[in-house]
Structure 1
C-alpha cells in the first residue's frame, strides 16, 4: 500500500465466506439499521473506507433518496449531510456524474467538485476524504441505486476485488429492496392503524376540543410532535384558531390559552404574513425553518419563545378567500419526514370531514341558541310592549309617511324615523321590518336613553367574560343578536359621542368586536333609527356627529303629530277601547259625543301614547254605561285646544318649550315622574333621563308626591 492508495485485504476464500455471511444476514435480519451496520462492519474488514452511503433511485432513474449513511468516526458531517427519506432530483447533482459510468469505479472528489461546486462533498474534502468508490446496485438487471464508499486514500482494486464488490452490491441491492418493501408494509399498516383510530374518534366524539385531543394523541403515537393546531380563514379573510393543543410533560395534549397573543403587537399582521406558508403541504425543519424565521415574524416568535425548530403544514381546504389548515410543530430539528407529511396528507379527508361536521353542528347550535334568544327576547317584547298591529287611520297627514314606508321596506336601506314622542316611531320600525325580506328574523330594539352610557356599548356589541368588573359571563350584544334581521335604535339622539363613532363603524364596515374581544364579528343587520330630536340642530350644537347623521338619514320618514290628524282620533279610540276592554275583561261602554269632540280638539302633546293612557284610565274607573273621563284624566281629555299665536308673537326657545312640555306632563300626572302613570311614560322617556332633564331645567317635583 502506497502513500496515496490503499489496497483491499482480500484473503483466499474470504470473499465466498463474506458473501455467505451477508446473504444469511439479509435473510434473517429485518431491522434496517442493524442489517446495514452488519454490512458496514464486514465491508470494512476487506475494503478500507471512512464513510458509506447508499442511494436508491426511482424506476425511471430521475429521483434519488438517501437510504442509509454511516459517517463512522466523522460525526460532525452527519447533521450537515443527513437528509433521510427525502426524494430529490438526480439532475444537477453528483449522482448524475456517478451514473455516467454505471460500473464499479473510483473518482476523486475534487473532480466531482469541478463539475458540481455546490455539492456537499466539499465537506468531506475538509475532513481529508478525497476519494469515493461507486458500486452500482442492480436487481433483475435494473439499476436500483448506488453503494458509495468514501476514503482518505485512493483504493487499489484488482479484478477479483471489483468482482467481489459487484457481488456485494447486488446483495446490498436485494437487502435494500427487501427493506423498502418491509417499510412500505409497515407504513401501510401504520396508516391503517391511525386512520382506524381517527375514524373511531370521529364516530364517538362530537365535542370540538375533546375530538381533536383524541386525534392529536393518535397521530402523536406515529408522528411525535409538540403542537397541534387547526387554523381557519373565513369569508372576508378573517382568521382564527379553531383548535390549538400543546403536548404536556406527561404526553397529554391540552388546549392553549386563546388570549396568549393579546400582548403581542401586530399579531394579526404577523399571522397574515405567515398564512401563505400554511395553505400548501410542506415541512420546514432545521436550517429551512431557521431561514424562514428570518422572513416571517410569527415563525421567529414561536422559535424564540417556544423552541420550535420544525413545522409540518397540511391544507384541509383552500377556496377563494376561505381556507382551513392543519399545523404540527416540534422542538426537534429533524422531527418530520416526507413520509410523515404523506401520512398526514392521507388523513386530510377524514380531518376535513370532521371539521365540516363540527362546523355544521356548531352552526346548528348557534342558530338554535340565536332562535332561543330571539324567542326569549320576543316573548319579553310581547309582554312589555304595546302591540299596535298596523297603523290606524287614513288621514291625509299620515299618508306620506305610510307611502314612504311602503317604498323603502323591501330594501336594506337605513331609515331614520322622526317625530314627536308617542307618534308611533316603533310602530313604523315594526312595519318596515314586517314588510321586508327580513321579516322571518328578529326585530331587536334598543332604547339609547334607557341605559347608563357605560352599559350601552355592552348592550350594543356585547362583551367577553372578564372584560370589565362584573362581566362574569360572555354577553351577546344586540347587533350580534339581530344578525340577519333588523335593529331598531330608538332615541338615537341620546347616544354618547364616543359610541356614535363605534356605531358609525358598524354602519360603514358591517363589523364590530365585543368589549374585551379580539375577534372581528361580521354582521348583516338592517338599521332603523328613531328620534324626537331635531338632529340637524344637535349636529350644529356639537352633540351629534355629522358623519353619523348622514349615514342614518339615508331615507328619512317623518311621522305627523296626532293634532295634525284629528280624523284618525275616532278610529284610534275604537281600536284601543276594543283591545283594552278585552285585556281587562271590562264591559264595553259607550263614548259620549262631547267627549269625542273634546278629544278631537285637544292638542295631545303626548300624541297616541297619551291617548291610549287616557282611554286606559277611563276603562278602569268607569262603572256606568258611558266612559268617564274624570279627575286628571278628564282634564286631559277635555282641555281646550291651543290658541294659535299671532304672526308676530314671540316664539319660545326650545329650552322653554321643553320646560313647559315637561311641566304640563307633571301637572297631568300629579307630579309623579316614574311608574306606570308617571310623566316619563307619558313623555316616552326613561325616568332617569327625565329626572336629569328636570334638574338641568330647574324643575322641582311637587312636594308630597311619590
Structure 2
C-alpha cells in the first residue's frame, strides 16, 4: 500500500507540474481518486482572500445525478457567513458530514438539499491550504457512508495539499489570463470607440467584444428621463448562433403600463450593481418591470453601470443574462472601467449626429432655396404669352447677362421681385448671393445701418458690429425694393455707392468697396417724385439706366386664364384639396375686373376660393361682391365709345375714394381697399388730377 500511495502522489505531482489545462488536470485527479475512494460527486470550492465569499471552482459527476444548472455556475459568489462552509473552514480538518444532520442545523435551508433529494447523504470535506492560507475545500459526496482508516485520512490530506497547489496554480493562471482578456477587451473597445462613427456599428462591435470576456444575452445603452420615459440609444440581443442583432426599439409599445413600470424601477439605474440568483428574484418581487423581463424575456441576472446621472436624465449601460448569477464583481469592475470612454463617445456621437442633422437640414434648405429660385426665377416659369408681356421678357433677356443697373417699375403686385430674381439667376453672378432690402419696411433711421452696416458703439443700441447689405452683396446682386421710399439724405449716400462702388459703415472710418450689381424697384412714378422734389434727379438717372416696366394685370387680360390655372394647381396640391371646376361666368368676371392689386390680388382670390369651396365648382362669393362694388365694365355696343385705360383707372380710384369719404391711408382708407401702397395711390391721384377734398365733399 505505501508503494501505491507513493506512486499515486508522484503521479499527481507530475501531472500538476506539467498539465496547464484546468479541465485535463482535474480529470486526472478525479479519476485517480476514484480508484481509491469511491464517491458520486466531487467538487472544489474556493474562497476569496478575505474569506467572505465562496465560489464553485470545479464539479464532476460519476452517477445519474441531475443537478440544477444554477448550482453549477462558477461565476456565482455566495457569502460564507452563516453557512456550513463557515463551520467547515473553522474546523480546518478532514471530516465526513451527514448532510441530513447539517440540514437540520440550518432549519432545512442547507445548500445541500439538492444533493439530499438525489439520495446523496454523506460528504467528506478536505481543506485546501497552501503556505498556511486557506484556498477552500475539496468535497467528495456519496450515497453510502465512507469508512476511512487513519492511513486513508493521511493520504487524503497529502492529496489535498497537492490539489491545493494545483488550484493555486490554476487560479493564478486564470487571473493572468483574465487580466490579459480584460486588457484585450479594453483595447478592442477603445479602438472601436475611437474609429467607428456610426452608432449601430459602433455599439455592435462593443457588445461583441465585451461578450468575449463577460458572456451575456442582452446589451443595452438606454437613456431614462425623470418622468419615466425612455429612449433606446443602442440595444442588441444574442442570437442562436452567438452573434448580436439590433432589437426593435418599439417592442415595448405593446406592453401595458410600460411607462409606469419604467418609472417605478428608475432608482435601480442610479448606481452600479449586479443582480443574480436571490437578489434578482427579490427585484422581480418588488418591481413589475423586472418581473416582466423575468417572465417574458427569461432574464435571470442583471448588470447595471450608469454612464451619467443628471437631474433630468440618466444614461445607463445594462447587460442581462438568462443564467442565474451570471455576473460577479470582477465583471462589474471591468464594465465600470469602460464607462468613461463610452460616456465620452456617446457625447461625441450626440454632437456628431446633431451636426449631421443640422447639415442635412441646411442642405435641405439650400436645395429648397435653389429650387425656389429656379422655380420663381427661371424664365420658362413666367406665366403669360400676351403681346403686352412679351416685350418685357425680351428686355429682361437682353439686360440679364450684363452688370447694368436696372430699374423695375410697376404697380403693387405685378411681380417686380420675380423679375429681380430672374435678372440675378440669368446673370454671371447667379452663384453668389442675391441680397434683398425693402426700403419701405424699416424706419428711416435703420435703413442706413441695413444698407451700409455699423461699427460697435456707433449709436445707442449698436452693441455689436453689423455687416450691411451692400457688403454682403459683394460679387452678387442687391435688390432695393420700394427704392422710392428712401429719405433724401440716404439717396445721396446711395448715389455715392452707385458712382464710386464704395462706402463706410456708420461710425467707421475704413472705406469698403463693393462690387454689387444694383437692381431697384418702385411702384411710384419716380418722374413725378423728382418733379415734386422728393427724389433726387441724379439718383433717378443713375438707377434708370435700363428701365423695365411691368404692365398691370388689367393690361394683359389674355394672361388671366393661364395664371388662374397655374395658381389653382399649386393651391390644390399644397392644401390637399380636390380639383374643382371653374365656371365660364367666373372666368369672364375675372377677365373684366380691373385688378387694382394685380397678380397678388388674383392669387389671394384664388387661394380663398380653394379654401372655402365644397362643391364641384370653385366659389368666388367674396370676389364677386368686390368686383360688383368696383363696378366692373359692362359690355358696350360696338358703336359705343370705349374709355381709355387712364380714364378707367381714374374712375376706379374715384369709386374707392367715394366709399372711404376721401380717406387715402389708414385701416379704412382707399389704399387698403385697392390693395396698393398709400404713397403710390397718392402719386396716381396726382397724375390723374384727383383731389381728395373734391371727393369728400
Residue 112 of structure 1: CA displacement?
Answer: 2.8
1:348 corresponding residue in structure 2: 339
Displacement after TM superposition at 1:436 (Å): 14
Query: Which one of the candidate residues 134, 139, 143 is aligned to 1:152?
Result: 143
Say whether residues 1:46 and 2:36 are aligned partners.
Answer: yes
Q: CA deviation at 1:84?
A: 1.8
Tell me the CA shift for residue 180 of structure 1. 0.3
> Which runs of structure 2 are paired with 1:304-319 in the superposition (5 Å)?
306-319=297-310
Tell me how far apart the structure 2 counterparts of residues 208 and 366 of structure 1 sit (CA, whole Å): 14
Deviation at 1:173, TM superposition (A): 0.8
The residue correspondences of 1:619-698 to structure 2 (distance < 5 A) are: 670=593, 672=595, 676-678=599-601, 688-689=610-611
1:199, CA displacement in angstroms?
2.7
Question: Would the aligned equivalents of 1:292 and 1:299 in 2 still touch at CA under 8 Å?
Answer: yes
- TM-score, normalised with respect to structure 1: 0.55
Q: CA deviation at 1:273?
A: 3.4
How many pairs are equivalent? 469
Task: Give the equivalent residue in structure 2 for 1:61.
Answer: 51
The equivalent residue for 2:527 is: 589
| CA–CA separation in structure 1 for the residues paired with 2:75 and 2:196 | 35
How much does 1:252 deviate? 4.6
Q: 1:265 aligned to 2:256?
A: yes
Does the CA-based 8 Å contact 2:277-2:300 persist in structure 1? yes
CA distance in 1, matches of 2:607, 2:531: 32
* 1:439-454 aligned within 5 A: none
Contact 1:669 1:677 in 2 (8 A): no
> Match of 1:486?
none
**Counterpart contact for 2:45–2:136, Cα < 8 Å:** yes
Give the 3 Å change call, closer, same or farther, for CA 50–676 of structure 1 in structure 2. same
1:208 matched residue in structure 2: 199
User: 2:609, 2:619 within 8 Å by CA — same for their partners in 1?
Assistant: no
CA distance 1:704–1:180, change in 2 (3 Å): farther
Unaligned segments of structure 2, at least 5 residues: 377-416, 419-435, 447-460, 467-483, 496-517, 535-546, 556-588, 635-697
Structural mapping, 1:22-101, within 5 Å: 22-73=12-63, 75-79=65-69, 81-101=71-91
Deviation per residue, 1:14-70 (Å, 9 max, x gap): 222221121112112222222223222222222333332322223332332222223
Match of 1:108 in 2: 98
- Cα RMSD between the aligned structures? 5.0
Q: What's the CA shift for 1:378?
A: 8.9
Q: State the SS of the aligned residue for 1:76.
A: coil
2:228/2:266 contact within 8 Å kept: no
CA distance in 2, matches of 1:271, 1:92: 36
* Local SS of the residue matching 1:164: helix
Q: Give runs of aligned pairs for residues 280-299 of structure 1, distance below 5 A.
A: 280-284=271-275, 292-293=283-284, 296-299=287-290
Query: How do residues 107-126 of structure 1 correspond to structure 2 at under 5 angstroms?
Result: 107-117=97-107, 118-126=109-117
Cα deviation, residue 181, structure 1: 0.6
Q: Is residue 172 of structure 1 aligned with residue 163 of structure 2?
A: yes
Q: Which residue among 9, 13, 37 is the counterpart of 1:19?
A: 9
Deviation at 1:150, TM superposition (A): 2.8
Q: CA deviation at 1:116?
A: 2.3
- For 1:348-497, list aligned pairs within 5 A: 348-369=339-360, 388=438
Larger Rg: 2
Q: 1:127-170 deviations in whole A, cap 9, x for unaligned?
A: 33333332221111222222222333443333322222221111
- Could you tell me how far apart the structure 2 residues matched to 1:78 and 1:37 are? 22
User: Residues 86 and 308 from structure 1, CA distance in 2 versus in 1: closer, same or farther, beyond 3 angstroms?
Assistant: closer
Alpha-carbon displacement from aligned partner over 1:80-115 (angstroms, at most 9, x marks no partner):
533423333321111111123112223333443344
Partner secondary structure for residue 77 of structure 1: coil
Q: Once structures 1 and 2 are overlaid, which stretch shifts more, 332-341 or 172-181?
A: 332-341
Measured at CA, do residues 157 and 306 of structure 1 come closer, stay the same or move farther in structure 2, by a change above 3 Å?
closer
**Which of the residues 125, 128, 132 maps onto 2:123?**
132
Contact 1:392 1:571 in 2 (8 A): no
Structure 2 distance, partners of 1:687, 1:132, is 96
Q: Does 1:219 align with 2:156?
A: no
TM-score (structure 2 length as normaliser): 0.55
CA contact (8 A) 2:595 2:601 kept: yes
- Deviation of 1:179 after TM superposition, in Å, equals 0.6
Q: Which moved more, 1:366-375 or 1:197-206?
A: 366-375
Q: Distance in 1 between matches of 2:67 and 2:301?
A: 21
Identify unmatched segments of 5+ residues in structure 1: 1-10, 395-401, 403-434, 441-569, 597-618, 632-665
Q: Which moved more, 1:363-372 or 1:194-203?
A: 363-372
